[in-house]
Amino acid sequence: MGGNNFKILHPFDKNGTELKTWLDANKSKLANQRIFYILRAKMEKNDVFKIGISERGGQSAYGRLKDYYHFYGQSNQGGCYGVKIHLILANTFDPNVQTSDSNVRRVETKMKAAPFKKARGSERLEASISDIYEYMKEHNLLNVKEDSNPVRQTPRLKELGQSSTDTVKQILGHNLPKTRSGQIKYTTEFAVSIRYDRNNKPLPAKKMPNKELTYDQLVQLRNGRHLADEYNKKHNLN
């Protein structure tokens, strides 16, 4: 298995750095990264810090942070405008790591459960930034190793040329079995597969052809079980 440790893109900064200023200078560092971040909007009356994540590759991390300064503005506008970044941790997006197993998701989950007072949801922590940072250090949340498990390919999927990291976009239709012992076949559309080379540069997008899959095959794919169950309920196939 490979390792994918956190990188500190923006080290802990007690006073914070203007978010737009940091983004303008560091956009390229966010490319194809999963990130965990801590920021604070100037409009907050107390010590309230927002934690959050971006889990997809490409430019998603940059887009996620950009949304904040579009919403809160910049400090040079005066008044309560402005948002500052206090910490950004990142690791390179690995399509072989399930979203639920990613470093950033694990850290966010642990921080939401931390014994800090919450303000307007579990992702807003009402505490000093120093206390938040010390908690992360004490609980080893600043340098976590992410394991990339080999792509799982069960016999059922292998014969179809599928892997468990393929993502189902939607179920387009179905064909009923011709015999009592047969199974329903679902016409399945897949999301465009985004993959990266060794230098983290995106490879040409790969669109997989639609396939006829059974329920047992669908549930081994990302989004497969959820979409199949919804489809069955809608079409009374349970």
d(CA 108, CA 124): 11
Instruction: Using alpha carbons, list the distances in angstroms from residue 234 to 88, 128, 177.
Output: 42, 49, 18
| Residue 62, amino acid | Y
The pair of structure tokens assigned to 32 is 């194809």
At 24-58, the pLDDT tens digits run 999 999 998 999 999 999 888 788 999 999 988 78
Predicted structure pTM score: 0.61
pLDDT for 120: 81
Report which of residues 16 and 3 the model is more confident about. 16
Cβ distance 56 to 70 under 8 Å?
Answer: no
Report which of residues 144 and 114 the model is more confident about. 114
Report which of residues 149 and 237 the model is more confident about. 237
The pair of structure tokens assigned to 196 is 């990266």
Long-range (24+ apart) CB contacts under 8 A made by 7-10 are: 7/33, 7/89, 7/90, 7/91, 8/87, 8/88, 8/89, 8/90, 8/142, 9/33, 9/35, 9/88, 9/89, 9/90, 10/37, 10/85, 10/86, 10/87, 10/88
b/e per residue, 58-97, with b = 16+ CB within 10 A?
ebbbbebbbebbeebbebeeeeeebbbbbbbbbbbbbbbb
Domain segments of the chain as ranges: 2-148, 155-234
Bridge partners of 40, per DSSP, are 84
State the sign of the Cα–Cα–Cα–Cα dihedral 175, 176, 182, 186: positive
Instruction: Using alpha carbons, list the distances in angstroms from residue 196 to 33, 59, 203.
Output: 12, 13, 5
d(CA 185, CA 180): 14
At 44-98, the pLDDT tens digits run 878 899 999 998 878 899 999 999 988 887 777 766 778 999 999 998 888 777 7
At 164-209, the pLDDT tens digits run 456 788 999 999 988 877 889 999 998 776 565 556 566 666 678 8
Cβ distance 59 to 28 under 8 Å?
Answer: no
